[in-house]
Amino acid sequence: MGGAGGRAGFYMGLGLALASSAFIGGSFILKKKGLVRLCRRGRARAGQGGHAYLQEWLWWAGLLCMGVGEAANFAAYAFAPATLVTPLGALSVLVSAVLSSTFLNEQLNVHGKIGCILSILGSTVMVIHAPQEEEVSSLESMAEKLKDPGFIVFAVCVLVTSLLLIFVAGPRYGQNNVLVYVLVCSTIGSLSVSCVKGLGIALKELFSGKPVLKEPLGWVLLVCLVICISAQINYLNKALDIFNTSVVTPIYYVLFTTAVMMCSAILFKEWQHMVLDNVIGTISGFLTIVSGIFLLHAFRDMPFTPDLLPLFLQQGSADHASWRSADRHQSCQHQPLLPSEDKGSQSMEEEGESM
């Protein structure tokens, strides 16, 4: 991050990303709370195409929190690389999981807590080894990057995949498979990050006195960002209404982070000049996050009881000591593996003596 300006940008992006995670994690809870209240009233559910949530103030409070979080996230992307900012979204999983267990009575067992810790550790490792993106200081250079054939192919693949998920997979599997709607949010979200980066550059130029408002690229990016965010909100509402929050949030994080990392690597060439230890550190950190998310998701309904502990942890210290002494006594006697045969031979010897 060479230089004071680079370090200042790093800490600014880091602080904004942390604030963003807190607000976004809380927004999931408020939205889910509003959707639950609507369900209790018998209103049309969002998962069935209803839009009654627009009349629920809790849902609007969640939307406001998400708006603040996204604004902080927007600013963070303007100050720091996407591969630095995006992994910190794991903290929103932690916030959402803790608040879900408190306000939505959703279980957070020991496995979930370990998963949250792993997510934090993995995020820390990724931040330490974050790659450096190519410098983009103007809308002209951003336009050149958007014309790159690799990014065009990526964007076309994202759009085609999203349309297939919405119109083909959604009606068939959307009510049963959490991946359908979450994949829509994640893939479209990767494009929204590119729009955010471009708009951040435009705002910097605007504040420096350049005639950015006359540039068509800034307006195109703004329209694309509004479309992407609208689609994300719509399909995220569907996923939250149908499935458990503790399921939607971590899966959304993993898929969204993967999509953003791919998009940033293609658009900003973040991985081109990385040394081997940073590559290994970034991949290891991401896999650690995925492991934590897996623990948080896969074992969320498994109660943690003393029966799951090893035998030596279940017993008291006195019983454990007596068990060890008994075991030591048996090993000194060198008892045979087949005690029935030993008893049979002993009874035969007794019969021979009696005769």
Those residues whose C-beta lies under 8 Å from the C-beta of residue 156, and which sit 6 or more positions away, are none
Those residues whose C-beta lies under 8 Å from the C-beta of residue 164, and which sit 6 or more positions away, are none
Determine how many CB atoms are found less than 10 A away from the CB of residue 179. Answer: 15
Report percent pLDDT > 90 for the chain.
Answer: 6
Residue 352 belongs to some domain of the structure: no
Residue 204 belongs to some domain of the structure: yes
Residue 42 belongs to some domain of the structure: no
pLDDT band at 157 (very low <50, low <70, confident <90, very high): very high
Residue 60 belongs to some domain of the structure: no
Sign, CA dihedral 59-60-62-63, equals positive
Those residues whose C-beta lies under 8 Å from the C-beta of residue 51, and which sit 6 or more positions away, are 44
pLDDT band at 6 (very low <50, low <70, confident <90, very high): low
In the predicted model, what is the mean pLDDT of the chain? Answer: 75
pLDDT at 344: 46
For residues 189 and 294, the model is more confident at 189
pLDDT in tens, 21-50: 888 888 878 877 777 777 776 655 555 555
Residue 252 belongs to some domain of the structure: yes
Residue 58 pLDDT exceeds 50: yes
Q: Which of 252, 286, 280 is nearest to 83 (CA)?
A: 286
pLDDT in tens, 334-349: 444 344 444 444 444 4
Q: Which of 70, 215, 233 is nearest to 146 (CA)?
A: 215
Report percent pLDDT > 70 for the chain.
Answer: 74
Residue 145 pLDDT exceeds 50: yes
* Domain count for the chain: 1
Residue 26 belongs to some domain of the structure: no
pLDDT in tens, 246-265: 678 778 877 888 888 888 88
Q: Are 39 and 14 contacting, i.e. CB atoms less than 8 angstroms apart?
A: no
Residue 153 pLDDT exceeds 90: yes
The CA distance from 39 to 27, in Å, is: 18
Residue 310 belongs to some domain of the structure: no
pLDDT at 156: 93
Residue 152 pLDDT exceeds 80: yes
Residue 285 belongs to some domain of the structure: yes
Number of H helices, E strands in the chain: 15, 0
235: domain range? 83-301
Mean of pLDDT values over 132-136 = 61
